[in-house]
Chain A
Amino acid sequence: MRILLVLFLSFPVLAQDVVDISGQWDAGEFQTHIIDDVPLSEHGLRISEDYDHSYDPHIQCVQSGLPRLLMIPYPIRIEQFEDRVVISYEEWDVVRTIPVNGHFPEHGGLLHLGHSVANYVGDELVISTIGLQTGIARNRHELWFTSYEATVEERYAPMGDGTDRLRYRFTLTDPVMLDEPWTVEMHLEPYPADFVRFDCTMFERPTLN
């Protein structure tokens, strides 16, 4: 019985009326995506301009969280279960487990991945995140800071254009650092290969090959 229960909990289970976006996805050709300039506030712009990119924590192999992780320069895997969505990122080997129809904790504190809940709205999976630590965000080549007031909404849906691509869009709202919400849209492609471990090293040699 216990084995059956484990097997049941280990495989994605979806209600029939929920959009199926499970699979491995990759951002592919970034040129096709919509990544507008970041509408930094005066405060956000000032501290961004003062920031020396050589202090980027990623160069020191220090992992960041949201919203930077959402730029997905590495493949992701989406698994849908009845009560949760699991998104695994090749970048930093991060795994997010997000309850479906869940509630934000009343006293959850601030986390680098924040507190996320997922809902299905029409043919979209919508993930909302609050409770983020301050951090460094990034678009193509700019770095800027996000405040503890930042929130993120992700939306995933089939492209609906006859291809097997996925429309992925996220909106970052941050009344401290941004004048208005910033939205990024990417068209993700199926990614057939196995994930590769993320072996961040600074000046020493990689340990894997």
Chain B
Amino acid sequence: MFNTVNRVFLVIALVPLFSTVLAHHSFTGEFDVQRLETVKGTVTEFYFVNPHIRIYLDVENEQGETEEWWIEMNSRSNMTRNGWTQDSVPIGQEIVVTANPARNGSNAMGLLGDGTLLNSDTMEPVVPGSFDGQRQQQ
């Protein structure tokens, strides 16, 4: 499925996704929590920082061009509780991320309560037990 088109959109409309998320800013102000999209790409940078963890990806679009995307996640302390470390997302790792798209249409996604973050080879979670399709502890 992901071999021919690296950037895939799975739009799920009107799904009640948002319930217990508590980040430091309004997640709904930045990301569309009514939709989930999926992108596949190669990790270029991983910032294990506050206020939010960020992953930068190179994603090949339908025209074969490389686009830069970034994924915003929860805080460093929260993600540490979920088993994340500075080394959780290796540079060069190819991943498939399903998350809420940016409301402003930019190449950004929010991965907070719902969504998945998978190794594209194995389709297993990059961090075991984390963003595996189950709702994350917030």
Contacts and interface: CB of A to CB of B under 8 A. Distances in A.
Contacts of B30: 54, 56, 59
A30 B138 contact: yes
Interface stretch (A9-17, A96-104, A152-160, A199-207): A199-207
B77 A90 contact: yes
A56 B54 contact: no
A67 to B, nearest CB: 14
A182 interface: no
B84 interface: no
Contacts of B20: 30-31, 140
B47 A209 contact: yes
Q: Which of B28, B29, B106 has the most CB of A within 10 A?
A: B29
A209 B54 CA distance: 10
A130 to B, nearest CB: 25
Nearest to B24: A73
Nearest to A62: B25
B137 A29 contact: yes
Given A91-B51, A199-B50, A74 B75 contact: yes
Contacts of A29: 137
Interface residues of A, number: 34
A62 to B, nearest CB: 10
Given A56-B26, A59-B29, A206 B49 contact: yes
B106 A140 contact: no
Contacts of B26: 53-54, 56, 58-59, 138, 141, 143
A200 B54 CA distance: 12
A209 B88 CA distance: 13
B47 A206 contact: yes
Nearest to B48: A209
Interface string A20-44: 0000001011110000000000000
Interface string B78-90: 1011000010000
Closest A-B pairs by Cβ, 3 of them: A53-B29, A58-B25, A56-B26
Interface of A: 26, 28-31, 52-56, 58-59, 71, 73-75, 90-91, 138, 140-141, 143, 191, 193, 196-200, 203, 205-206, 208-209
